[in-house]
Amino acid sequence: MDLAKATILITGGSGVVGKHLTCKLQDLGFEVSHLSRISNPQASIPTYLWDIEQGEIDEQAFEKVDYIIHLAGANIGESRWTDKRMQLIRDSRVKSAKLILKKIEEKNIPIKAFITASAIGYYGMKTTDKIYKESDGPANDFLGNTCQQWESVADGFSIKGIRTVKIRTGIVLTKHGGALEKMLVPIRLGFGSPIGSGTQFLPWIHVDDLCDIFAQAIEDDRMNGAYNAVAPEFINNREFIKTITQVLKKPFWNIGVPAFFLKIIFGEMSQIILNGSRISSEKIVQTGFKFRYTNLKSALINLLN
């Protein structure tokens, strides 16, 4: 098959990563369509309706589809983690993947690969001396359990003989939206300082590198299983914030924002801010992948200047 003529169906295509990835794949010559809560099959990017709660998908979405990229999922950092919010975070990922698998099975749709986002939250919300690799098991906490369930559904595609790739993503750095935009607010006001102890690691990736990894997952049929999508640099929160202040030429205050203050504001969600371990990118590098941005300063100069 001529890859340049392949059709890719993306869930979560209207999100920050989805928009970048759509443009990337179109530039490579792929045909791209989206699954969305709003239907517009005649748009420049054909968009087909799906309703996860009702278990419905417009079957036109699967016509001539070669690859499915599953990015859909509620933003984990958007609001406080109430029981209802945590259920939404889990269901938006797991139920949506189950719905796609069900339709693939029912209609016997012969896709070439199922490529799903996952997250480094698979390894847990903790700060340790360990460097986590794809062979390590999931953590027994909210994010670890959510990612395990998310990936377990993806493994159902593999059982059906469909090549399956799971991209465990770190903090995605983009010009607009996402975690970086929130970090920049106090720094631009002159209040750049570490969070908590500042010793927790922040595994990150430039959005262009992340999109390149997804593109390679389509083009390289040797890719199977889980891959960590993080830059090869290990950097902790203190150095992360300090680097941003240097690029923006803003003051850096080496006094951490107290952990208890963040716990009061964010509750359990504060753990994703206050903890973080080193994550290995060795496996994706061994496929021949070359990062455009291997250190934070070069990534920030590209995004902020």
DSSP string, 236-269: BHHHHHHHHHHHHT--B---PBPHHHHHHHHGGG
Question: What pLDDT does 1 receive?
Answer: 45
pTM: 0.95
d(CA 17, CA 9): 14
Question: What pLDDT does 263 receive?
Answer: 79
Residues 62 and 107: beta-carbon distance below 8 Å: yes
Smallest CA-to-CA distance from 172 within 203, 206, 200 is with 206
d(CA 236, CA 137): 23
Question: What pLDDT does 132 receive?
Answer: 98
Question: What pLDDT does 4 receive?
Answer: 58
Residues 6+ apart with CB under 8 A from 49: 35, 36, 37, 38, 39, 56, 57, 58
Instruction: Record the tokens describing residue 176, joined without a space.
Output: 């607009």
Helix, strand, coil percentages, rounded to 5, for the chain:
45, 20, 40
Question: What pLDDT does 257 receive?
Answer: 83
**Which stretches of the chain score pLDDT less than 50?**
1
Question: What pLDDT does 2 receive?
Answer: 53
Domain 3-172+204-230 coded CATH 2.40.50.140: no
Give residue for tokens 């963040």. 262
